[in-house]
Chain A
Amino acid sequence: MKAAIVVFPGTNREVDMKDAFERAGASAVMAWHGDAEVPDCDLIVLPGGFAYGDYLRCGAMAAHSPIMKDVVKKANAGQPVLGVCNGFQILIEARLLPGALLKNASLAFVCRDVHLRLDHAIKPLTGNLVEGDVIRVPVAHGDGNYFADVETLKRLEGEGRIAFRYVAGPGEAESRANPNGSTADIAGIVNEKGNVLGMMPHPEDATGPRQQSLDAVPLFAGIVEALS
């Protein structure tokens, strides 16, 4: 399997993402934001960072970059796309996913481990995780507070498109479960066809032998198996 990781000038978790895919046995190439086309690949990845500084709404400028035209085209044609953190923000700004990501309820950046429950397995993007699985992965963002209007939420819920929710980990206070105030504890959603997944947490930083959790290994392993 080959992943193309889109790099904007302010992207900063592209190496984390590359490492995670390579550990899972895939190859990964970097795709430059100014290029008109994403190179031939099995999966497009929008990683974390601050695409163009994000001094405006996060991801708003990136959604209009040259390469995003091609990402949108390919996503609409059914190619799998994974957006993490800033990547999720960009997918929303590019209208590939509904809703909005607001400033964290705390109004502060938050970096810590959270627990995610897989509520709906969506192949291939949720990998080998099984519905009900709870994984520990880090978050690191200032604008991850998912918001959508009631109608949209109903649809997401009804269509089984809420992939990941924040839950309390073992011994963790309920009040610590949701790190950003997201509506309905939403951490990750997919589009109607299920080929575009956006999530705020960083599963790529829970795959390495020296990282403090290996819980996201089945996620990457499953994606790579399915797309190889």
Chain B
Amino acid sequence: MSADPNTIRVTPNIAAEHGLTADEYAKILEIIGREPNLTELGIFSAMWNEHCSYKSSRVWLKTLPTTAPWVICGPGENAGVVDIGDGLAAVFKMESHNHPSFIEPHQGAATGVGGIMRDVFTMGARPVANLNVLRFGAPEHAKTRYLVGGVVSGIGSYGNCMGVPTVGGQTSFHASYNGNNLVNAMCVGIAPADRIFYAAAGAIGAPVVYVGSKTGRDGIHGASMASAEFNEDTEEKRPTVQVGDPFTEKLLLEACLELMATDSIIGIQDMGAAGLTCSSVEMADKGNVGMDLDLDAVPQREAGMSAYELMLSESQERMLMVLKPEAEAQARAIFEKWELDFAVVGRIIDTGRLVVSKDGKVQADLPVRPLSDEAPLYNRPWNETPQRPLIAAGDVPAPNSINDALLNLIGSADLSSRRWIFEQYDHLVMGRTVQRPGGDAAVIEVPDRPGKGLAVTTDCTPRYCQADPFEGGKQAVAETFRNLSAVGARPLATTDCLNFGNPERPDVMGTFVGAIKGLGEACKALDMPIVSGNVSLYNETNGKAVQPSPQIGAIGLIDDLDRTARIGFGGTQHTILMLGDGVGHLGASLYLREIAGREEGAPPPVDLAAERRHGDFVRGQIEAGKVTCCHDISDGGALVALAEMALASGIGASVAMPHENLPHHAFWFGEDQGRYIVAVEGDGADLQDAANRAGVPALVLGMTGGDALTVDGASPISLGTLRETFEGWLPRYMAGEPA
């Protein structure tokens, strides 16, 4: 780049290279009444790309339920805020870092984790739990192993250094992600409910302060890159990936929280996508003011950066704050104590314009409001996803043996143990991890509130979403509701991370629309409003989209940690019951894919009323202390859930199908929704009575005990064999063995 890019005359071609359409560029000319210079064009392109403007998704996002009496702040800020009682709030959000993580897996994933934590502590919360969702290509694909290794080490390197436990998530493999993996990071923080910090910049004349790392040339146009499809040249985009520095972020976290304990901040915004541009425009816009920025005052890592580069850099670990004028000295002292840069880079002005100066010259002078409010909004054409036929249980061939099918499933890429991953994450730091990774939801004890628990989970079943985006969307929410209920937590709210392909293609847009409708319906029915989120489109390579992946993160509250449940059996001679019943639904199931080799059929429908009834019943029993062992039934069906319960406790079980209404493989591997397995002392009669009264089917499956799993009287599978199969796949695969 030449010394002064503003000497380059902007042409429609250059606008197109910035990802702006001819119409969008025409609108820019109309808004400012002249040709923009290159810096101004860069600012517009950064604000108007898909990643920042949600131009393809906004019309649909508005349809989602976002409010409830316990919601303190819904979407639109850095993260959502929910009242959790006792004067505290949970602050949380999930965000994608898909494209960078594919180009450079370690740094891409690391900075994704860094970014989401900044979103949370920007609002005044101390992060207490991280989760992540990883979707990789087929295990056989040449690049998958490298991506898994890099992404996992990247996530670990950031969270571990920050001292925030990484307690949960989801990982799966499918060929649709071969050229475009998904890395969604979620962070949950805790803040005093009456001390939440927002982005809006207020008082005219107040100082705009830059804190954190210095600005370099990294990540320029990262958000634009995330708004385009991949092709063979993607590798060349490696320089647009930022490099993370978790130590600096740790300093930034501590310094910000220390400053937030004083009464100094008017508004604060982290510099994430589109860096200084996005943070300054959003703060000014939300405060109904303008902002004067002096780029010469911005701490810089390298010499000779232009205004264009400074405004678009995505260097990490930076924040923009508007301070009360009298608080400047105190704030400076705090940041100097933590050895971070602290620079007054501007003032709030009353003109409603963003005026950027450098070298004594105005480099950009734009009206703030149109940069965000008049960003393009598209109601993209969309095609309804065609309904797939229901597959009857009888139409799916039985396996040679139920035992072999179970071993195949729990030793498969998607169902085998994730231990190789979560053991690389410090999931215990802070000392408050009550339920570790591997259960239905992770549980942490709320700091300074002994006995009060927060349950956190993420879920989505992309193969269902591909088969039927509406049912799949419903299922993603219902599954998180189930995960939370299974540990005895009261579901409170959700965050979403919507990963789809190119929205300009009506079929892809149709999957997005279907999923949103499903999410919305389930969130309403289950009282779990969506309070924050992120949309990641253009997840496709050479015209092939990923499976629709509307990832849901959810939190729930446990009032008394002495009344919770775990997936491991609590003892021997306990009665095992299944709550909820099904038709042996095998369409779009893992059995169908892994054992029968077919990816087809409609997914299991979600009956939201039953979902709620069953979940409320299970939770009620846990809260009453009557159930302490519970696992929801999901991927792979009831028998996979039973195997996981046996492995988690080291206690075997003997189970049998309680009726002959279904083929055995359909009963054991069907993925019907809204079901749980519990194990209780005694014969389970009391629980069955209570379930009957609540209108919840409850079937006795068998008893716990021994050191093997015996199904329908077949030869027992030793826990040793189960464990070896379950634990073996991922470490062997990562050690280089063929998938």
Partner-B contacts on A (CB < 8 A)? 9-10, 12-13, 15-16, 19-20, 48-50, 52-55, 108-112, 138, 140, 142, 171, 202, 204-205, 208, 210-212
Can you show 6 pairs from A to B with CB atoms below 8 A apart? A9-B250, A9-B338, A50-B247, A111-B425, A111-B426, A210-B434
Q: Name which residue of chain A comes closest to B420, CB basis.
A: A108
Q: Quick check: which of B155-163, B462-470, B522-530, B667-675 contacts chain A, the rest being far away?
A: B155-163
Cα distance A49–B247 when bound, in Å? 10
Contact between B161 and A140, CB atoms less than 8 A apart: no
Contact between A12 and B423, CB atoms less than 8 A apart: no
Contact between A210 and B160, CB atoms less than 8 A apart: no
Q: Name which residue of chain A comes closest to B166, CB basis.
A: A111
| A52 and B426 in contact, given A9-B254, A12-B162, A210-B432 (Cβ under 8 angstroms) | no
Q: Which residues of B contact A112 (CB under 8 A)?
A: 423
8 tightest Cβ-Cβ pairs between the two chains A and B: A12-B163, A53-B247, A16-B431, A140-B426, A50-B161, A111-B426, A210-B434, A109-B424
Picked from A13, A53, A202, A211, the residue with its CB within 8 Å of the CB of B161 is A53
Contact between B246 and A53, CB atoms less than 8 A apart: yes
Picked from A52, A138, A142, the residue with its CB within 8 Å of the CB of B247 is A52
Cα distance A48–B156 when bound, in Å? 16
Query: Is B339 part of the contact surface with A, judged by Cβ < 8 Å?
Result: yes
Cα distance A156–B520 when bound, in Å? 64
Q: How far is the CB of B728 from chain A (nearest CB, A)?
A: 12
Q: Name which residue of chain B comes closest to A12, CB basis.
A: B163
Query: Is B239 part of the contact surface with A, judged by Cβ < 8 Å?
Result: no
With A109-B160, A109-B426 known, 16 other A-B pairs at CB within 8 A are A12-B163, A13-B431, A16-B429, A16-B430, A50-B250, A53-B245, A53-B246, A110-B423, A111-B160, A140-B426, A140-B429, A205-B428, A205-B431, A210-B432, A210-B445, A211-B433
Contact between A111 and B430, CB atoms less than 8 A apart: no
Query: Is B171 part of the contact surface with A, judged by Cβ < 8 Å?
Result: no
Q: How far is the CB of B571 from chain A (nearest CB, A)?
A: 17
Cα distance A52–B246 when bound, in Å? 11
| A171 and B650 in contact, given A53-B246, A140-B160 (Cβ under 8 angstroms) | yes
Picked from B160, B162, B247, B431, the residue with its CB within 8 Å of the CB of A211 is B431
Contact between B251 and A9, CB atoms less than 8 A apart: yes
Contact between A10 and B250, CB atoms less than 8 A apart: yes
Cα distance A29–B445 when bound, in Å? 23
Picked from B245, B254, B422, B430, the residue with its CB within 8 Å of the CB of A15 is B430
Cα distance A49–B160 when bound, in Å? 8
Contact between A10 and B161, CB atoms less than 8 A apart: yes
Cα distance A19–B424 when bound, in Å? 25
Picked from B251, B431, B436, the residue with its CB within 8 Å of the CB of A208 is B431
Cα distance A19–B447 when bound, in Å? 11
Cα distance A205–B338 when bound, in Å? 27
Which applies to chain A's interface (DSSP): helix, strand, loop or mixed? loop
Report the contact-size class of chain B (Cβ under 8 Å from the partner).
20 to 34
Q: Which residues of A contact B163 (CB under 8 A)?
A: 12-13, 49
Query: Is B631 part of the contact surface with A, judged by Cβ < 8 Å?
Result: no
Query: Is B153 part of the contact surface with A, judged by Cβ < 8 Å?
Result: yes
Q: Which residues of B contact A111 (CB under 8 A)?
A: 160, 422-428
Q: Which residues of A contact B254 (CB under 8 A)?
A: 9
Interface hits, B430-480 → A, CB 8 Å: 430-434, 436, 445
Q: Which residues of A contact B436 (CB under 8 A)?
A: 212
Q: How far is the CB of A37 from chain B (nearest CB, A)?
A: 18
Partner-A contacts on B (CB < 8 A)? 153, 156-157, 160-163, 245-248, 250-251, 254, 338-339, 422-434, 436, 445, 561, 650
Contact between A55 and B247, CB atoms less than 8 A apart: yes
Q: Name which residue of chain A comes closest to B431, CB basis.
A: A16
Cα distance A206–B248 when bound, in Å? 29
Picked from A15, A49, A140, the residue with its CB within 8 Å of the CB of B428 is A140
Q: Name which residue of chain B comes closest to A202, CB basis.
A: B428
Q: Which residues of A contact B250 (CB under 8 A)?
A: 9-10, 12, 50
Q: Which residues of B contact A202 (CB under 8 A)?
A: 428
Q: Name which residue of chain A comes closest to B251, CB basis.
A: A9
Q: Which residues of B contact A10 (CB under 8 A)?
A: 161, 247, 250-251
Q: Which residues of B contact A140 (CB under 8 A)?
A: 160, 426, 428-429
Q: Name which residue of chain B comes closest to A179, CB basis.
A: B423
Q: Name which residue of chain A comes closest to B444, CB basis.
A: A210
Q: Name which residue of chain B comes closest to A55, CB basis.
A: B247
Q: Name which residue of chain B comes closest to A52, CB basis.
A: B247
Q: Which residues of B contact A110 (CB under 8 A)?
A: 423-424
Picked from A12, A20, A52, the residue with its CB within 8 Å of the CB of B429 is A12
Contact between A13 and B429, CB atoms less than 8 A apart: yes
Q: How far is the CB of B166 from chain A (nearest CB, A)?
A: 9
Q: Which residues of B contact A212 (CB under 8 A)?
A: 436
Cα distance A16–B445 when bound, in Å? 13
Contact between A9 and B161, CB atoms less than 8 A apart: no
Picked from B153, B245, B248, B433, the residue with its CB within 8 Å of the CB of A108 is B153
Q: How far is the CB of A123 from chain B (nearest CB, A)?
A: 26
Q: Name which residue of chain B comes closest to A112, CB basis.
A: B423
Cα distance A55–B245 when bound, in Å? 10
Q: Name which residue of chain A comes closest to B434, CB basis.
A: A210
Cα distance A12–B481 when bound, in Å? 32
Q: Name which residue of chain A comes closest to B245, CB basis.
A: A53
Q: How far is the CB of A201 from chain B (nearest CB, A)?
A: 11
Q: Which residues of A contact B429 (CB under 8 A)?
A: 12-13, 16, 48, 140
Cα distance A109–B428 when bound, in Å? 13
Contact between B428 and A138, CB atoms less than 8 A apart: yes
Q: Which residues of B contact A55 (CB under 8 A)?
A: 247
Cα distance A48–B432 when bound, in Å? 16
Q: Name which residue of chain A comes closest to B447, CB basis.
A: A15
Q: How far is the CB of A207 from chain B (nearest CB, A)?
A: 8
Cα distance A12–B429 when bound, in Å? 7
Q: How far is the CB of A160 from chain B (nearest CB, A)?
A: 31
Cα distance A218–B201 when bound, in Å? 53
Q: Name which residue of chain A comes closest to B419, CB basis.
A: A112
Picked from A13, A49, A109, the residue with its CB within 8 Å of the CB of B156 is A109
Q: Which residues of A contact B339 (CB under 8 A)?
A: 9
Cα distance A13–B422 when bound, in Å? 19
Cα distance A109–B304 when bound, in Å? 39
Q: How far is the CB of B385 from chain A (nearest CB, A)?
A: 41
Cα distance A108–B247 when bound, in Å? 19
Q: Which residues of A contact B161 (CB under 8 A)?
A: 10, 12, 50, 53-54
Q: Which residues of A contact B422 (CB under 8 A)?
A: 111
Q: Which residues of A contact B162 (CB under 8 A)?
A: 12
Q: Name which residue of chain B comes closest to A14, CB basis.
A: B163
Cα distance A110–B731 when bound, in Å? 14
Cα distance A10–B248 when bound, in Å? 9
